[in-house]
Amino acid sequence: MEKTAVRQDTETAGKAPGASVALPANGGATEAVARDTAFGRPRNFLGNRFIYAVISQRARGLSIGVNLNPDKKCNFDCVYCEVNHAEPPRDLEIDVKVMSAELQQLLRLTFEKRLRELPWFRNLPEELLQLKSVTLSGDGEPTLCPKFSEVVQEVARIRSQGTFPFFKIVLVTNTAGLTLPETRKGLQLFTARDEIWAKLDAGTQTYMDKVNRPDIPLRKVLANILAIGRERPIIIQSLFPLIGGEEPPADEIEQYVQRLQELKAGGAQITLVQIYSAHRPPQRGEYCGHLPLRTLSYIARRVREVTGLRAEVF
């Protein structure tokens, strides 16, 4: 699932968590409030069944999301997951025809600069109304969706028609189904400008079991990242939560950095490592909070120092 993160990045390092980035000279106080609020807001389906809008810090603006897992099934059970499992799903599978119509409608409003007709967008500054990506994500793991290639095919078809300006497609994944034939078939339609954001939240199986509670081992996650990263550039997304008031142990951070180093040495083309933390309260009851900015900045620094990879704090 795609997460919106707090307003932190390399520009804010040294400031308190949640501190705002300085606004451009033309940004007024009202706009400042709108920007800060926007990045913390939950996604909004805007009355749709499968398509939603989110103002994403990591995407740096508006992302249109495709929920490939309306049944809310995931093979991970992350302590920080924001999916509300108490609420029964409206749909058990994605209807590609309906998804396509909803996506085209929202793209039309976006590119015709009519988003402010919808109340959710009304007070957002112009810069946050520019589409950054169409994101394949959802209430579970998108690569386990049986219709993955059909969905990618339809999104790519809409893009290729030329009705709308080019938009980037981003796959946000926990890597579980990255090597499945259905996923590979869909990924063949990705261009060089599209992106895969692969989750890696741990450097040891013990810590992964604590944070992600997955049904696949860490070695499989690493193997999947390596396999895809040898074929095309990928972005690693790493969420480090505060669990029960505890930060990730120093040893764990070093192990995590080592795993990245091994991926790089093995030939994975990692263009960016996104370091961020839990933002909103999780849905499953555990006490899970936001890691201090100094710790996130430290992790990013260790990634840079040890691996030479580009790492940013969000």
Cβ-based nearer residue to ligand SF4, 125 or 140:
140
Cβ-based nearer residue to ligand SF4, 78 or 109:
78
Kindly tell me which residue out of 5, 38, 51, 78 binds ligand SF4, with binding defined by CB under 6 A. 78
Q: Could you give the count of Cα atoms lying within 13 Å of 112 in the half-sphere of its Cβ?
A: 9
Contact assessment for residue 6 and residue 277, using Cβ atoms and an 8 Å cutoff: yes
* Cβ count near 26 (within 10 Å): 7
309/272 Cα distance (integer angstroms): 7
Cβ-based nearer residue to ligand SF4, 8 or 137:
137
Name every residue whose Cβ is closer than 8 Å to that of residue 279 and which is 6 or more positions away in sequence.
3, 4, 5, 6, 40, 290
Cβ-based nearer residue to ligand SF4, 76 or 197:
76
Min. distance of Cβ 237 from ligand SF4 in angstroms?
10
79/81 Cα distance (integer angstroms): 6
Cβ-based nearer residue to ligand SF4, 91 or 127:
91
Is 201 near ligand SF4 (CB under 6 A)?
no
Is 297 near ligand SF4 (CB under 6 A)?
no
Contact assessment for residue 108 and residue 46, using Cβ atoms and an 8 Å cutoff: no
> Which amino acid is it at 174?
N
Identify the CA nearest to 239 among candidates 169, 289, 191: 289
Is 243 near ligand SF4 (CB under 6 A)?
no
Contact assessment for residue 242 and residue 288, using Cβ atoms and an 8 Å cutoff: yes
Cβ-based nearer residue to ligand SF4, 107 or 278:
278
The phi and psi torsions of 245 (rounded to 5 degrees) equal: 85, 0
Min. distance of Cβ 172 from ligand SF4 in angstroms?
8
Min. distance of Cβ 13 from ligand SF4 in angstroms?
26
46/51 Cα distance (integer angstroms): 8
- Looking at the DSSP bridge assignments, the partners of residue 238 are 275
What's the CA angle centered on 231, arms 225 and 233, to 5 degrees?
A: 70
Stretch that binds ligand SF4, among 70-78, 121-129, 155-163, 257-265 (CB under 6 A): 70-78
Kindly tell me which residue out of 38, 81, 170, 187 binds ligand SF4, with binding defined by CB under 6 A. 81
Here's the x/- map for ligand SF4, 142-181, by CB under 6 A: it reads as --------------------------------x-------
> Which amino acid is it at 26?
N
224/289 Cα distance (integer angstroms): 29
Is 77 near ligand SF4 (CB under 6 A)?
yes
# chain residues binding ligand SF4, by CB under 6 A? 10
Here's the x/- map for ligand SF4, 98-137, by CB under 6 A: it reads as ----------------------------------------
Is 76 near ligand SF4 (CB under 6 A)?
yes
Min. distance of Cβ 213 from ligand SF4 in angstroms?
8
Contact assessment for residue 66 and residue 99, using Cβ atoms and an 8 Å cutoff: yes
Residues engaged in binding ligand SF4 (CB under 6 A): 1, 74, 76-78, 81, 83, 140-141, 174
